[in-house]
Amino acid sequence: MSGIGQMIDKLLTHGSITVIQPGKAPETHGPGDGPAVTIRLTDNKLPLQVLKNPRLAFGEAYMDGRLVLENGTILELLQMIMGSNPWEEGRPARAMLNRGKGRALLRLFQRNDTKTSRKNVAHHYDLGDDLYDLFLDADRQYSCAYFTSPDKELEDAQADKKAHIASKLYLKPGLRVLDIGCGWGGMAIYLNQVADVEVLGITLSEDQLRVARQRAADAGVADRVKFELVDYRVLEGEFDRIVSVGMFEHVGLEFYDEFFASCRRLLKRDGVMLLHTIGKFGISKKADPFTDKWIFPGYHVPSLSQMFTASEKSKMMVADLETLRLHYAYTLRHWLDRVHENRAKIVEMYDERFFRMWEFYLAGGIVMFESGAGCNYQVQFIRDRRALPITRDYMIEAEQALRAKAAAGKEKGPARGRRASSSVKQPA
């Protein structure tokens, strides 16, 4: 029995994987009850590489075409492996998947300064507008959606995400809001239109900046929704509210203290901050080597203890915490389906290798949130304990009002290019 076969037998609690290696007879491993996948390895070096560093070697082999799925999909294969080893069960075999990840620890302590941060952002977000238009929602929200039910359409779930976040910001007309890591401007424009607030969105992506400014102009709100290419660490001014969605993952563990110190400096004493980030259950030490190398250089997914240890130093008080356990898995499934639907276009834009890299990245994300340690956290921070009402009722009331307004607008048809004439007020 091959070493990779022994590894499969230890990992799987259901299903089977048939392995075809050069010059050898096919071997089938696993209990056999459930799904069956067949993989073909095109060179004899690959089994040892996978054994030494499974997460990196496996992903690179699929991306390079050295690991070929003869039966089944890459998602089905990853689901079989990770589904047999869910994080919450703590199976000893799960440790096999972490071989070689220690080398990724070195990345945590590389300088993620303003120059490096901008380079890392460009690596992922400046790939071109056409790619993101193929799989994101119409508002181009590249972060976890909020599913009030698993069967929600992506566009509706992303709209609900914006309402869910806005309800936690305790918005009032005329407030000044900072959006750290504003993406293509969707959240900033939304907050202005539903709550009559002024918004400054900041990004390190030149592509995102260009699109966000154009979108604000097209919506007729460029006078009150502005975007700048600037790092939060050098930004000056004070804001009534701060929102940051899907950006904290790129800060880097070494810079958590600096991030929260900057947020305290930028947030008014009676201000409110909402941080939406990918997170990890339990301890978060090691970056996934494939994701770190090919997708998000320099990233770190935080645990609650890491976030709170850093925020406590700046006396940023946690006013509310919500854990979204499966929402990103639902989101990623929509994205992966759309990537598959647009395979020919993506291959034409890049090549087959890029497509497989992107497919593996999304499929790996799905199993991370379905069976791994991945989740999403929404954390509300304040500087003054009296900055918010003493119960969460205001969130529920505001969210219901925002959804009702969105539903009414959907019935009337799109109103793009027109500034909202009224705002949704939250109770005082």
Tell me which residue range forms the domain holding 47.
3-99
Q: Are residues 89 and 133 in the same domain?
A: no
pLDDT in tens, the chain (428 residues): 568 889 999 999 999 999 999 999 999 999 988 899 999 999 999 999 998 898 899 999 999 999 999 999 999 999 999 999 999 988 877 777 776 654 444 444 445 565 555 555 544 545 667 999 999 999 999 999 999 999 999 999 999 999 999 999 999 999 999 999 999 999 999 999 999 999 999 999 999 999 999 999 999 999 999 999 999 999 999 999 999 999 999 999 999 999 999 999 999 999 999 999 999 999 898 888 999 999 988 889 999 999 999 999 999 999 999 999 999 999 999 999 999 999 999 999 999 999 999 999 999 999 999 999 999 999 999 999 999 999 999 999 999 999 998 888 777 654 443 333 333 344 33
pLDDT of residue 304: 97
Q: Are residues 53 and 156 in the same domain?
A: no
Domain boundary residue among 99, 127, 155? 99
**CA-CA distance, 287 to 145, in Å (whole number)?**
23
Q: Are residues 122 and 215 in the same domain?
A: yes
Query: Encoding tokens for residue 382?
Result: 């304040």
Q: Of the candidates 145, 148, 138, 137, which has an alpha carbon nearest to the alpha carbon of residue 400? A: 148
**CA-CA distance, 336 to 344, in Å (whole number)?**
14
Q: Are residues 79 and 192 in the same domain?
A: no
pLDDT of residue 271: 98
Q: Are residues 264 and 376 in the same domain?
A: yes
H/E element holding 168? helix 154-168
The number of distinct structural domains making up the chain is 2
Q: Are residues 63 and 175 in the same domain?
A: no
Task: Please report, for the domain that includes residue 386, its CATH number.
Answer: 3.40.50.150
Q: Are residues 87 and 212 in the same domain?
A: no
Query: Encoding tokens for residue 265?
Result: 């400096």
Domain boundary residue among 35, 67, 99? 99
Whether residue 425 lies inside any domain: the answer is no
Task: Please report, for the domain that includes residue 62, its CATH number.
Answer: 3.30.1050
Using DSSP bridges, classify how beta strands 374-382 and 317-324 pair: parallel, antiparallel or unpaired: antiparallel
Q: Are residues 24 and 95 in the same domain?
A: yes
Whether residue 240 lies inside any domain: the answer is yes
Whether residue 428 lies inside any domain: the answer is no
Q: Are residues 95 and 130 in the same domain?
A: no
Whether residue 427 lies inside any domain: the answer is no
SS3 state of residue 223: coil
pLDDT of residue 107: 46
Q: Are residues 14 and 119 in the same domain?
A: no
Q: Are residues 29 and 57 in the same domain?
A: yes
String of b and e for 179-214 (b: at least 16 CB within 10 Å)?
bbbbbbbbbbbbbbbbbbbbbbbbbbbebbbebbbe
Whether residue 421 lies inside any domain: the answer is no
Whether residue 417 lies inside any domain: the answer is no
**CA-CA distance, 73 to 37, in Å (whole number)?**
8
What pTM was estimated for this model as a whole? 0.89
Q: Are residues 127 and 42 in the same domain?
A: no
Whether residue 286 lies inside any domain: the answer is yes
